[in-house]
Amino acid sequence: MTILESIRAEQQGIVVSGNHPKIVQSILDFDYLSGNEQSILALVTSGRKSQKFFWGTKEILLPCYKNFADIPTALHGRVQFLLNVQSGRRAAESTTAFFSVFPDAFGAHIFAENVPEAHATDLIASYGGSKIIAGPSGVGLLVPGALKLGAIGGVDASQIVSNTLLTKGSVAVVSTSGGMTGELIHAVSKAGKRLSFAFCIGGDRFPVSSLTEVLSLAEEDPDTKGIAYFGELGGVDEYEIVELIRSKKLTKPVVAYIAGIIDESFDTHVQFGHAKALVSHKDESARAKREALRSVGVMAADSFPEFLEALESLPESAGDDPVVDISPLLARRASILSTREVLNVHEVPQFVENGKIVPTETSFMSSAVGGMLGKELTSPISKAFFEAVGKLLIDHGGHVSGAVTSMITARAGKDLVSSLSAGLLTIGPRFGGAINDAARLWMRGVAQNASAVSFVEETTKEGNLILGIGHKKYRVGMPDPRVASIEAFTNLLEHSKYFSFARSVEAVTTGKNGSLILNVDGAIAALTLDILSECEGYSQKELEILADAEFFNALFVLPRSAGFMAHIIEQKRNDEGLFRLPDSLLFTRPDELS
């Protein structure tokens, strides 16, 4: 089995050295659209433990390691290629390090240009002829439907589809130029042909895999029926083609274009884009190369339009192009913070059913509440209630202010305690700190034996908000499920006077605005008062002392600290680096506001 047949037959595994998000994402999109498994297994880069990308429309985190030796041994058997996007100075060192850890890997692509010539010749001495290495200075290797190693074929989903890179064909594209490799791929597709593979040898003076090696791949590949080749003035690569054809080591038809005739218009030879695109001898001119190729039967066009027409003569044996809808991929937008819910906040458990407490095995929250009260809880209703409150308040998603602040602080490299403290400092009347003041309001209303109407009027006349009332998301007809879940505890109580008063206030406020419902802060405050008074024997005076000590807010701070720490630990485990708000989400400056 040839190397190309092996690539088509097996799922490929790629390790990336360095960081080039657009190229990596294009490879993931190619894998996804081809129906393959994810080929990018890991990134070797400093400063983070993971990096965010998309698999289809789903966000994923790719693991990052400091060096190749840190990659888990469980992945070693799947690693076949290196995508090296390091700088030219580091390219050889990192490539050698890769093959020292993965000696059985098929090959690599070195993206950087201007790799020192001494480094390039060392790579040739070590791996030339034994590994497939595209570059230095190029766009990589492509095998349609099987492998995309580099920017080759484009870096967005629309290019992958428009260049028909998902369909296996019979034309090999070979070029030293990265830009022209892309042009040839596009031209082959427009000519109604499909690729068997495409290989960018690289524009530096000393590419690791020679033109002879690449053309031998094409000759040995049963799927390849013809070759489209782009070359340029300078160097003697094209004479390798001539010798291969003369020795009958290359028998498949070749259509070629050699750029650089314009060099003849200058008094002296001109250095063009690539390192070796400079004529040093007469036989390195574009004209000399074209004539040499024609002498062995290669269709070497005089102009690029003529070359495009000649592509139509190449054999073709491709299947139908798949119908692919890429609109979901084009519409995706990355989240600004990667996090999960500590608990599923959309599935609120029931703690009381059919008038009975649902058994729970945990006792941390009730023990902690007993510690804060200074005496152990005695009623099973009290214990079950505080366990329920703790479970409901551990987390409400990563988008709330305290969780966001904790995560951003962790991403800045701060320690657990500092990150937790940052999140806790956001707790106040607008986030999580309303339970205590809501308890004061319910105590005042019940103590005064006030009607709900007069209570609402008096409070609003004072210019005060009724904390415990109102929600941005929930409203009449769409209540907060957490409130309904804990309200069931009223069925276990004799009076529940505080909760009843809170509901009567809600009846007044929702008459004014449907979003002014009893929220979870207000419900917890009211039920805590009822349970402590009915089940634990607390007097009004004792409840007021607890409010002065902010005991009621502690019911939020205690479990939410666990939620914040879960988000912090997740950020440190993923380690995506310092957080920066995207420019698209920045606010206007005050002087720009009208």
Residue 352 lies in a domain: no
User: The CATH number of the domain where 137 resides is what?
Assistant: 3.40.50.261
CA 407 to each of CA 147, 151, 400, 428, 565: distance values in angstroms, whole numbers, following the listed order: 37, 33, 11, 18, 9
pLDDT band (50, 70, 90) for residue 342: low
Q: What is the pLDDT of residues 234-268, one digit of tens each?
A: 777 888 999 999 999 999 999 999 986 755 554 45
Residue 443 lies in a domain: yes
Q: What is the pLDDT of residues 137-180, one digit of tens each?
A: 999 999 999 999 999 999 999 999 999 999 999 999 999 999 99
Domain end, chosen from 297, 325, 353, is at 325
pLDDT for 489 equals 95
CA 514 to each of CA 229, 254, 498, 503: distance values in angstroms, whole numbers, following the listed order: 70, 75, 22, 14
| Cα-based angle 589, 591, 592 (whole degrees, multiple of 5) | 70
pLDDT for 445 equals 96
What secondary structure letter does DSSP report for 210? Answer: -
- 475's torsion region: left (phi>0), alpha (psi -120 to 50) or beta? beta
Does one domain contain both 311 and 397? no
Does one domain contain both 163 and 270? yes
Residue 35 lies in a domain: yes
Does one domain contain both 434 and 478? yes
Residue 134 near residue 177 (C-beta atoms within 8 A)? no
Q: What is the mean pLDDT of the chain?
A: 90
d(CA 263, CA 271) in angstroms, rounded, equals: 9
Domain end, chosen from 325, 344, 372, is at 325
Residue 252 lies in a domain: yes
d(CA 512, CA 500) in angstroms, rounded, equals: 19
d(CA 206, CA 203) in angstroms, rounded, equals: 8
* pTM (predicted TM-score): 0.75
Does the structure show a pLDDT above 80 at 471? yes
Which DSSP string corresponds to 376-421? ----HHHHHHHHHHHHHHS-S-TTSHHHHHHHHHHHTT--HHHHHH
- Number of structural domains found in the chain: 2
What is the arithmetic mean of pLDDT over 290-308? 93
pLDDT for 396 equals 86
- DSSP H helices, 35-133, are 73-76, 88-101, 117-127
pLDDT for 359 equals 74
More confident residue, 584 or 431: 431
- Looking at 119, 274, 471, 567, which residue is catalytic? 274
Residue 366 lies in a domain: yes
CA 36 to each of CA 33, 155, 196, 338: distance values in angstroms, whole numbers, following the listed order: 8, 18, 17, 25
Comparing 86-90, 163-167, 336-340, 541-545, which segment has the lowest mean pLDDT? Answer: 336-340
What six digits make up the tokens of 589? 């400056």
Residue 303 near residue 165 (C-beta atoms within 8 A)? no
Contacts of 517 (CB under 8 A, 6+ apart): 469, 470, 471, 474, 475, 476, 479, 480, 483, 506, 509, 510
CA 556 to each of CA 310, 415, 441: distance values in angstroms, whole numbers, following the listed order: 74, 23, 18
Does one domain contain both 367 and 313? no
Specify whether 471 is catalytic: no
CA 170 to each of CA 127, 221, 223, 224, 226: distance values in angstroms, whole numbers, following the listed order: 28, 10, 5, 4, 7
What is the arithmetic mean of pLDDT over 290-300? 94
pLDDT for 288 equals 86
What is the arithmetic mean of pLDDT over 296-322? 90
Residue 343 lies in a domain: no
Does the structure show a pLDDT above 50 at 181? yes
Sheet holding 107-110, edge to edge: 50-55, 58-65, 40-44, 14-17, 81-84, 107-110, 132-134
CA 523 to each of CA 218, 261, 488, 490, 534: distance values in angstroms, whole numbers, following the listed order: 73, 83, 11, 11, 16
In the chain, the percentage of residues whose pLDDT exceeds 90 is: 75
Does one domain contain both 242 and 370? no
Angle, helix 497-512 to helix 434-447, in steps of 10 degrees: 100
Does one domain contain both 204 and 78? yes
Does the structure show a pLDDT above 50 at 462? yes
Identify any residues that bridge with 141 across adjacent strands, giving them in sequence order: 149, 199
What is the arithmetic mean of pLDDT over 283-299? 88
What six digits make up the tokens of 494? 């004799």
Does the structure show a pLDDT above 90 at 552? yes
d(CA 244, CA 366) in angstroms, rounded, equals: 83
φ and ψ of 141, to 5 deg:
-130, 135
Burial category of 533 from C-beta neighbours within 10 Å (exposed 0-12, middle 13-18, buried 19 and up): buried
What secondary structure letter does DSSP report for 65? Answer: E
3-state secondary structure 107-156: EEEECCCCCCHHHHHHHHHHHECCEEEECCCCCCEEECCCEEECCCCCCC
- 166's torsion region: left (phi>0), alpha (psi -120 to 50) or beta? alpha
d(CA 154, CA 26) in angstroms, rounded, equals: 7
Question: Closest by alpha carbon to 164, among 188, 180, 133?
Answer: 188
pLDDT band (50, 70, 90) for residue 79: very high
Residue 66 lies in a domain: yes
CA 240 to each of CA 62, 210, 222, 246, 562: distance values in angstroms, whole numbers, following the listed order: 41, 9, 22, 10, 67
Does one domain contain both 150 and 256? yes
Question: Closest by alpha carbon to 574, among 60, 55, 48, 58?
Answer: 48
pLDDT for 270 equals 47
d(CA 344, CA 322) in angstroms, rounded, equals: 38
Does one domain contain both 229 and 374? no
Does one domain contain both 370 and 518? yes
Does one domain contain both 256 and 389? no
d(CA 357, CA 366) in angstroms, rounded, equals: 15
Question: Closest by alpha carbon to 529, among 594, 460, 393, 435?
Answer: 435
pLDDT band (50, 70, 90) for residue 592: low
Peptide bond into 136 cis (omega under 30): yes
Does the structure show a pLDDT above 90 at 325? yes
What is the arithmetic mean of pLDDT over 510-521? 94
Burial category of 180 from C-beta neighbours within 10 Å (exposed 0-12, middle 13-18, buried 19 and up): buried
pLDDT for 272 equals 47
Burial category of 86 from C-beta neighbours within 10 Å (exposed 0-12, middle 13-18, buried 19 and up): buried
Residue 69 lies in a domain: yes
Q: Domain of residue 404: give its range.
A: 361-574
Does the structure show a pLDDT above 60 at 213? yes
d(CA 82, CA 99) in angstroms, rounded, equals: 9
pLDDT band (50, 70, 90) for residue 274: very low
Does one domain contain both 313 and 217? yes
d(CA 319, CA 317) in angstroms, rounded, equals: 7
pLDDT for 355 equals 80
Residue 198 near residue 223 (C-beta atoms within 8 A)? no
Does one domain contain both 310 and 367? no
pLDDT for 348 equals 72
Does the structure show a pLDDT above 70 at 281? no
pLDDT for 278 equals 38
pLDDT for 275 equals 44
Does the structure show a pLDDT above 90 at 582? no
pLDDT for 103 equals 97
What secondary structure letter does DSSP report for 441? Answer: H
What is the arithmetic mean of pLDDT over 23-47? 96
d(CA 413, CA 48) in angstroms, rounded, equals: 11
